[in-house]
Structure 1
Amino acid sequence: MTLKNKLGIHNAVELSRQEERLSKQRALELFDEGLLDTFEIGTFAGLQAIHAHLFCDVYDFAGDVRTGNIAKGSFRFAPSLYLDAALESISAMPQSTFDEIIEKYVEMNVAHPFWEGNGRSMRIWLDAMLRQELGVVIDWSQVDKEDYLLAMERSPVRDREIKALLNAALTDKAADREVFMKGIDASYRYEGLEEYETGNLPEDDED
């Protein structure tokens, strides 16, 4: 079963391919057109704008708060009934230090406000906070997939591991396009999406 999508695709593999291609094109626009500078930094409204832009070609729900409950394995994300209050609380969390920013990121991950595309949107949102507050971003290409996924899985009860992992990958090349593109590719690999490279995206689908 596939998510209802604008492309009329009913095959999960094909939907993943098209979602990756189209949303990576949109991710590049965020950087190249300076759109991230026009979004609120560190609020849910800012994350919502990122998600809406990334997935606007694929899903009608792009940018919309989910209205049902979701889980990953045995972990259940924030119940939809309390999601609005949780997002308001997370938006108000401080973000002036590295630790505060990562703690905010962990809480937003627990909220998981969208039906799909949470991780990819939130990693861009996280970097936007780090760039604004500290003049750095994470070089995601230096963050091992398995280490990251395990650290995030444990982060709701112990965030020291994810803090150490991400702190070790910080770079001051916050305005570097190549760092951004490599970061997008790494972010998508965490989700099992690695057919296209952000620096070499076809305009149209290629079989």
Structure 2
Amino acid sequence: MTLENKLGISNAVELARLEEKLSKAQAHKLFTSGFLDTLNAGSFQALASIHEYLFAEIYAFAGKVREVNIAKGNFRFAPVMYLAVSLKNIEAMPQTTFNEIIEKYVEMNIAHPFREGNGRSTRIWLDLILKKELKQVIDWQRVDKNDYLMAMERSPVKDIEIKYLLQQALTEQIDSAEVYMKGIDASYYYEGYTLYKTEDIADDTEA
């Protein structure tokens, strides 16, 4: 079943293609415009703003908390009836150390506040917190897809794997456009979006 969208597309493959192209262009603008640095790192509003920025052209629900229950495989994300409370509690979690930040990230992943685009938005949100608190970000192209997905799947029970994996990929190149754009491509690759490179889309939109 294809998600209802502003583009009027009923074909799932076509929707995925356009979603990747449009949202990657927005991801590039998110960085170059300076808007990302105006957000309150670690807040839910920051995550909602990122999600809306990426997907507003595609989905009416961009930046809005979901009103349906969702699951991935056998895992059910936070039930809608508890979602508002969960988000408030996650926002209040400490974020002064690497371990605290990853624990907060894991909890936000369990909450999964949006209908679609959670992983891609939340990875940008995570880097925003790391940048503010530790003056570091994750170089996502150094994080293996399968290792990441398996570690995230196990993270609600045991987060040591995801902490180790992400710590090995930390970089101090927090203002590098190259690290950011290649990171976006890696983030999208985790979700199966591989048709476009963010750098190429950015060149096309600026031409």
TM-score by length of 2: 0.97
Q: In the aligned structure 2, how far is the partner of 1:122 from the partner of 1:109?
A: 7
Question: In the alignment, residue 80 of structure 1 is paired with which amino acid?
Answer: V
Structural mapping, 1:143-154, within 5 Å? 143-154=143-154
Deviation per residue, 1:129-181 (Å, 9 max, x gap) = 00000000000000000000000000000000000000000000010000000
1:1-207 equivalences in 2 (<5 Å): 1-201=1-201, 202-203=204-205
In structure 1, C-alpha distance between the alignment counterparts of 2:142 and 2:41, rounded to whole Å: 24
Task: Give the 3-state SS of the residue equivalent to 2:153 in structure 1.
Answer: helix
1 CA distance for matches of 2:85 and 2:132? 25
Amino acid at match of 1:175: D
What is the Cα deviation at residue 37 of structure 1? 1.2
Q: Look up the equivalent residue of 2:101 and give its one-letter code.
A: I
Unpaired stretches in structure 1, ≥5 consecutive residues: none
Q: 1:39 Cα deviation (Å)?
A: 1.3
Structure 2 gap segments, 5+ residues each: none
Question: Quick one: percent identity of the two aligned structures?
Answer: 63
Query: CA RMSD of the aligned region, Å?
Result: 0.6
**Distance across 2 between alignment mates of 1:78 and 1:122:** 15
- Please report how far the alpha carbon of residue 38 of structure 1 lies from its aligned counterpart in structure 2 after TM superposition: 1.3
Give 3-state SS (helix, strand or coil) of 2:17's partner.
helix
User: Residue 77 of structure 2 aligns to which amino acid in structure 1?
Assistant: F
Specify the code of the residue in structure 1 equivalent to 2:110: V
